[in-house]
Structure 1
Amino acid sequence: METTAFEALLRRDRAIMICRLILISALGWCYVMTGAGTGMSMRAMTRIAISPGAFSSDTAMPQRWTGVYWAIMVAMWCVMMIAMMTPSAAPIILLYARVTRHEQKSGRMADGVVPTVAFACGYLSVWLLFSILASILQFSLARAGLVHAMLMWSLNAWLSAGMLFAAGLYQFTPYKLTCLRQCRSPAHFLSSHWRPGHLGAIRMGAKHGAFCVGCCWALMALLFVGGRHELALDRWLGDASAC
């Protein structure tokens, strides 16, 4: 009876967590596809991409980045990263919850609330930091006239070539392969980096997030080549792979 009750609890927790992850990803994609607070939906950006000659590079470009505009850009990057990366992180989040419940049942961990949210927050906090750095890079490139301020596509052939070359070269580096192994092996990651408690969950989530950034930053950098509409649509159609 105890085993049956425990398995029922696992199934319930797993179903709830899956629903939460799906909801988070869906809300993130809705936010991005409707313009992420920039006033221009993804559909409008796609029309512009098809007919770029009808669009001036200065259109929809703010005169200066105010505090509000900075917040919009960071939020856009952050929500876009959450929408893209939550499905990739779902296996390790669900496995972490299952392992923690098992450890509690076996008596090796104290009973209590499973800190799955803490693990997810640690993971997403790394992508928040990435979003801040990406916003700073976007501001710098737009100010230099190298990328479009709103659509983020490259306005400079040398910048496009350099980013494409760097992204391709990075795929063959040992660091990329190390990060990829960590992201593709959730069980190995948890066994190698296990830390108990809520603080340990945050640390593990942040460490796994760092490995995922190591896997995906080059893909995200290509956003400055093709523009925000292109990367978002590629992910939406499943043509690009995060981890």
Structure 2
Amino acid sequence: MPHLRPGAAAPARPGVLLPRRELAAGWTLMVLIAVLAWAVTVGQSRRMPVEPGTMGMAPPLFLALWVVMMAAMMLPSVAPVAITWVRAIGRHSAGPARVLRITGFVSGYLLAWTAFGLLVYGVLAVTGRLVGGSPAAARWIGAGAFLLAGLQQFGPLKRICLRHCRNPMFQLARYARYRRWAKDLRVGAHHGLYCVGCCWGLMIVLIPLGVMNVAAMAAVAGVIFLEKLWWRGPWLARAVGVAFLVLAVLAPFQGWLLPGLQEAPMGDMDMDMGPAR
């Protein structure tokens, strides 16, 4: 047992374990939100066909569903950044306060993706009209979406934003200078903008694959997670870019690659209307 000088305070062993408990609480919160978001997304997808356009949704309803989708897809990859921010910058906060700070960070992060969702809604509205007027346009819209996504995977914006998302500590230190008012919300929103810059190409492939296509969403979420957290993430980003460019070449000749741009059969649209009377 180490010798203590008179008047010296004994080491507080419980305090050593406290950060671990708070870390577990932060991870538990993020995982619970993601799991609940996936449950809502899967449940909603069963009631909505995969089809072009906005699927008949008004902007408020679409944005509400979009935010849930982003929580499901993005929170697993952003959780380490949110928890690192709160632990490093908010280390003097109490346990419940840290949970509130994580909530503020996540809210700001999803706010950035909500703004991007408005743009997606507009694009879906236009593609829905184009495909409705000329079904043959679906093949070229799909090819354009895959081409744009593939080029984005090799572009400078992708490289800069992915570098930030993989190594955010320098930027997190700069965030410490922000004023206290809504600090965590603003930090989350700023980091979310980097994430949008990194991942918008991956998101637009949901237009040809289907915004409510759960398999496609899960695949995109997996790619995002690995790009940000796997040590070979940058190489994976390039490989995915090559795959998108190949899909861009195939899309005009292989309509099955574009389920999100095909009109849903009437049977699927009536599947939740109950038996005929």
TM-score over 0.5 for the pair: yes
Displacement of 1:196 in angstroms is 5.0
Structure 2: give runs of 5+ residues left out of the alignment. 1-9, 229-277
State the match for 2:217 in structure 1: 232
Displacement of 1:121 in angstroms is 1.4
Displacement of 1:235 in angstroms is 4.2
Distance 1:61 1:173, change over 3 A: closer
Aligned positions of 1:152-171 closer than 5 A: 156-171=138-153
State the match for 2:182 in structure 1: 199
CA distance in 2, matches of 1:112, 1:206: 22
1:221 equivalent in alignment to 2:204: yes
Distance 1:93 1:7, change over 3 A: farther
CA distance in 2, matches of 1:112, 1:35: 32
Query: 1:39 is paired with a residue of what secondary structure?
Result: coil
1:14 equivalent in alignment to 2:23: yes
Distance 1:193 1:100, change over 3 A: closer
Distance 1:202 1:3, change over 3 A: farther
Displacement of 1:5 in angstroms is 3.4
Q: Which letter maps to 1:161?
A: A
Displacement of 1:146 in angstroms is 6.3
Distance 1:163 1:35, change over 3 A: same
Structure 1: give runs of 5+ residues left out of the alignment. 46-56, 148-153
Displacement of 1:96 in angstroms is 1.2
Select the residue among 152, 174, 182 that pairs with 2:156: 174
1:39 equivalent in alignment to 2:47: yes
State the match for 1:125 in structure 2: 111
Number of aligned residue pairs = 211
CA distance in 2, matches of 1:111, 1:39: 40
Q: Which letter maps to 2:172?
A: L
Displacement of 1:74 in angstroms is 1.7
State the match for 1:113 in structure 2: 97
Displacement of 1:112 in angstroms is 9.3
State the match for 2:38 in structure 1: 29
The one of the two structures with greater contact order (alpha-carbon pairs below 8 A, sep at least 6) is 2
Distance 1:11 1:196, change over 3 A: farther
Distance 1:146 1:162, change over 3 A: farther
Displacement of 1:135 in angstroms is 1.8
Distance 1:100 1:9, change over 3 A: farther
CA distance in 2, matches of 1:112, 1:83: 23
Query: 2:224 is paired with a residue of what secondary structure?
Result: coil
CA RMSD of aligned residues (A): 3.2
Displacement of 1:77 in angstroms is 1.5
1:86 equivalent in alignment to 2:94: no
Distance 1:78 1:155, change over 3 A: farther
Displacement of 1:119 in angstroms is 1.7
CA distance in 1, matches of 2:47, 2:95: 48
CA distance in 2, matches of 1:200, 1:33: 33
Displacement of 1:162 in angstroms is 1.3
